[in-house]
Amino acid sequence: MDTVLVSLGCGVIGYLIGSIPFGWVIVKLVKGIDIRQYGSGRTGGTNVFRVAGFPAAFATGMLDFGKGAVLVLVLRQLLPSLNGWPEALAGIGVVLGHNASVFLRFHGGAGGATSVGTALALWPLGALPAFVIGLFFLFVVGYASLATILACLSIVGVFTVATFTTGAVPIAYAVFSWAVMVLTGIALRPNIARLLAGTEKRVSLSDKRVV
């Protein structure tokens, strides 16, 4: 069995699974519209919330959170002896697919929920700070983009330190952390510019829907 080919194949599978646009499907079912035409144009939970309300956003967030996590857990059982590369590349593929879905002409979300969900499946203890940070900055501070950025930075920091100091996780997981940081950074470039300019919009349960 060729380890490299198997791991790359898992990455492709991850991309296809990540490309499933749950937010687009849910908004289409609930509102009968294409979410890409409203708000930020993204298919993630934040834009779904602004377009279709909290229940639709919650369902989207949970599904986006779970699609990477479930795949990682399945691959860990099927391919336990390949030093974490199948799970790591599959996780990268899931986030890439979520952000640039092949089914939506390479549109998608920003990868926050998917990145954290996948990281939790890879190493629950190491990803727990990212989960807490993400929830705090989303629901208390109110900036979804900042929540995603800081959660991913936390994953990078903890996974990298653990890999090169204690050896608690394989190097493949550190590679995963840096890759998803790059992917989310690319997706959030407009948000980062607005954060720096002080014009980024907060998320609030009292927000009026876009449509």
The residue count for the chain:
211
Domain carrying residue 32: 3-197
Residue 204 inside a domain? The answer is no
| Domain assignment of residue 109, yes or no | yes
Query: Is residue 208 over pLDDT 60?
Result: no
Count the domains in the chain: 1
In a domain, 209, yes or no: no
Residue 205 domain flag? no
Q: What does the pLDDT look like over 147-161, one tens digit per residue?
A: 999 999 999 999 999
Asked, for residue 202, whether it belongs to a domain, the answer is no
pLDDT in tens, 51-64: 999 999 999 999 99
Using alpha carbons only, what angle is made at residue 156 by residues 171 and 45, rounded to the nearest 5 degrees?
120
Chain-centroid distance, C-alpha 39? 19
Residue 134 CB partners (closer than 8 Å, separation 6+): 112, 116, 147, 148, 150, 151
Calpha distance 71→100 (Å, rounded): 18
- Single pTM value for the model: 0.94
- 59 located within any domain: yes
Q: What is the mean pLDDT of residues 180-187?
A: 96
**CA 154/CA 136 separation, integer angstroms:** 13
Locus of tokens 């208390």 = 140
Q: What is the mean pLDDT of residues 120-133?
A: 96
